[in-house]
Amino acid sequence: MDKELQQIASEVEGLSEKLTALKKEIGKVIIGQEDTVSQLLITFLAGGHALLEGVPGLAKTLMIRTLSNAIDLKFKRIQFTPDLMPSDIIGTEILEEDHTTGKKFFKFNKGPIFSNIILADEINRTPPKTQAALLEAMQEFEVTYGDKTYPLDKPFFILATQNPIEQSGTFVLPEAQQDRFLLYIKIGYPTDQEETQILKATTGTKKAQLNKVLSGEDIVRLQQLVREVSISDGLIQYVSDVIRATRPDTSKVDYVKQWVDWGAGPRAGQAMILTAKANALLEGRLAVTLEDLQTVALPVLRHRVLVNFRAEAEGITSDTVTKEILKAVQLKDR
């Protein structure tokens, strides 16, 4: 058993070096945003999908494209618009003719969803019907058209960007679809120093050359290793206590009872544990700590805790609620 652990530790060390190299490649193009990049990598390691929100011009699209350019996988970008149809994403059947027999038949022409990394750009600028076309792909990693089901290539990631819902021309993503995103990442404005560096780097002639430092096989293996990262029973109970504290009916936190309409479901607990394991692996560790869980709590619960109208009027967000829950819920001794 000790020899097996040594082999895993050695493998983790080698893959950690590749992840460090990947961060350096991204840093050639993206200035700052270290937390956002780390959360994207956590999404990859945990085998989930991420939703990035920020106002236009904060390099959401550039960040995902840069990430895909440093990984040896197929990449497709879908620009979501009000007139986009589900068939524009998953594909459609076209009528073809067999030149030897003259018989006509329908052939399924695969859409851009059949790739490894999908950039769903401005996903909330398309109507709910088209947004829903992604649901099966996100959850089941397959697409059904007519009476046939087509498996998607693995690894498979959807990295979606959206503008703040207060902006005109946006459609709010249904709760069921938001829940399919492992993490909901919010991107803020750069600091004064970062903005100066951005202006300097993007208005000249120099262009960064990116190297592919991670393969699809590396990512699949990293996803397997994430599952092998250990977590104590006490920390699992802590996750359960945090998730149950988000629900007004079962919560012992008065703040939740006052400001929350709907709490998180069991998928939130699964996401919290998986992403905490991924965060530990990203830092080269094979065991989850309390800090790992608290690091991922905000992006995990951001889209799974729905505050009421009074909270919105008072400027209280799901992040505010999560921070109060983390203060109130204590790790129990086991």
DSSP secondary structure letters along 215-228: EHHHHHHHHHHHHH
SS3 182: coil
Burial 160-188 (b: 16+ CB within 10 A, else e): bbbbeeeeeebbebeeebebbbbbbbbbe
Average pLDDT over residues 97-111: 80
The DSSP bridge partners found for residue 107 are: 94
pLDDT-wise least confident of 75-84, 96-105, 285-294, 302-311: 96-105
pLDDT at 180: 86
Average pLDDT over residues 38-47: 89
Give the pLDDT band of residue 242 (cuts 50, 70, 90): very high
Which of 300, 292, 283, 290 is CA-nearest to residue 334? 290
Contact assessment for residue 151 and residue 191, using Cβ atoms and an 8 Å cutoff: no
Q: What CA–CA distance (Å, rounded) separates 135 from 42?
A: 21
Angle CA(128)–CA(130)–CA(136) in degrees, nearest 5?
Answer: 100
Does 175 or 70 have the greater pLDDT score?
A: 70
What are the C-alpha distances in Å from 26 to residues 70, 96, 188, 261?
Answer: 7, 43, 18, 39
Please list the alpha-helical segments (H only) found in 150-191.
Answer: 175-178
Percentage of residues in the chain having pLDDT higher than 70: 94
pLDDT-wise least confident of 62-66, 164-168, 214-218: 164-168
For residue 301, pLDDT beyond 90: yes
**208's tokens:** 């960064």
The DSSP bridge partners found for residue 145 are: 148
Q: What CA–CA distance (Å, rounded) separates 109 from 94?
A: 7
What is the tens place of the pLDDT at every residue in 14-30?
A: 778 888 888 888 887 77
- Pairing of β 157-162 and β 117-121: parallel
For residue 203, pLDDT beyond 80: no
pLDDT-wise least confident of 92-101, 235-244, 268-277: 92-101
**189's tokens:** 């404005």
Contact assessment for residue 272 and residue 299, using Cβ atoms and an 8 Å cutoff: no
What is the pTM assigned to this prediction? Answer: 0.86
**46's tokens:** 């945990």
C-alpha dihedral sign at 7, 10, 15, 18: negative
Please list the alpha-helical segments (H only) found in the chain.
Answer: 2-27, 34-46, 60-69, 87-90, 128-131, 135-140, 175-178, 192-202, 216-228, 233-245, 254-259, 266-282, 290-301, 309-313, 318-328
SS3 107: strand
What is the tens place of the pLDDT at every residue in 141-195?
A: 888 887 788 888 888 888 888 877 655 556 777 777 788 899 999 887 877 887 8
Percentage of residues in the chain having pLDDT higher than 90: 20
Question: Does a cis peptide bond (omega within 30 degrees of 0) precede residue 86?
Answer: no
Q: What CA–CA distance (Å, rounded) separates 90 from 110?
A: 6
- What one-character DSSP code corresponds to residue 34? H
